Amino acid sequence: MLKGKKIVLGITGSIAAYKACLIVRGLVKRGAEVQVVITPAGKEFITPITLSALTHKPVVSDFFSQRDGTWHSHVDLGLWADAMLIAPCTASTLGKMANGIADNMLVTTYLSMKAPVFIAPAMDLDMYRHPSTRHNMATLRSYGNRIIEPGTGFLASGLEGKGRMEEPEVIIETLDRALDSTPSLEGRHILITAGPTYEKIDPVRFIGNYSSGKMGFALAEECYRRGAQVTLVAGPVSLSCSPGIERIDVESCDQMHAAATRVFPSCQAAVLCAAVADFKPARVASAKINRGAGGLHIDLQPTHDIAASLGGMKQPGQRLVCFALETNDEEQHARAKLKKKNADFIVLNSTRIPGTTFGTDDNQVAIISASGRRDYPKKNKTAVAADIVDELEKVLQ
């Protein structure tokens, strides 16, 4: 899908800039036309001569190339491109893009860009984890930009952790799929549930879990990118989503159940990724329960089984995908859930795999269906979402 596409490749001042050569080469090999825009700091890591030789185009870096009044038009580049990719993107450039600080040609071009923008961050693990970086990335996502999450591995500092720019072949494949001229889920309405539910004990306490909602939001974004009409029913999380996604915010299982059962009849598929509480207090205190001399006893009762409710409502042609988070006997529990919920397939997670599931950026799943089991390697949740939606597309056909 990259043949004939015009790509603006932004390169910033990161040691990962050397990988930009591999990105250029891969894009050109697939038939794309590449125009490099590089920051002054980026030129300290890789030379414009190298990049120009690979792209067969002069590299753009400065606003003015000569002293005769000619200048590089960021507006023209914004109109010319079919996509902009910033790889690598440093923490500094993320901050400038998020806040409109147009002090170099790259950020100015970004602010003029009419085409989709893809961002591949690269930095040390402490910078990546810093609240300001996380905030800037969330802001850029809310603008409609797509973040290609960095991987975990050996970093230039000598440390090991998350912040390593995603590999060039993965970045190219992400662009290739995103620029598919025929959105594969166009005309489909898909329901996604995400995040935890909070079940009140009293006005200040609740029963909940550690779900961040990242997996469900990644699924919603992937379905939306492929052209689907997406309704996202989200529990209490601090995440944002693309403006084109219909978002329904809820707190309790009762609220999520009501929203899901109301929306599902108009959908072709539902992906139930939320970590819904299985139990709730039988009685909710109207005032804060103060510490007493003895212990506190709370009677619990089951919450709604949202998956079973939708499985019972499912009509011919509708598809249902459920998640199973297990601590032991994983496949046995997943297969039982497959039948009980009337699901088309189960996405199996295990708490026994370090660095996955709750609160992490990565996940490792297996897809369980009547036809067998397919295991996937550990990936960031954006890539995992793509694998799950690939499988969803198969069953929708």
Catalytic residues: 209
> Which bin fits 17, alpha (ψ -120 to 50), beta or left (φ > 0)?
alpha
Residue 219 contacts residue 204 (beta carbons within 8 Å): no
Residue 252 contacts residue 228 (beta carbons within 8 Å): no
Q: Which tokens is 136 given?
A: 């800037």
Residue 184 contacts residue 10 (beta carbons within 8 Å): no
Reference 271, options 227, 312, 320, 304; nearest CA is 320
For residue 4, the tally of other CB atoms under 10 A from its CB is 10
> Inter-axis angle of helices 306-313 and 330-340, to 10 degrees?
40
Cα 126 from Cα 170, distance rounded (Å): 24
Our measurement of the distance from residue 232's CA atom to the centroid of its chain's CA atoms, rounded to an integer in Å, reads 14
> Which bin fits 196, alpha (ψ -120 to 50), beta or left (φ > 0)?
beta
Cα 397 from Cα 385, distance rounded (Å): 18
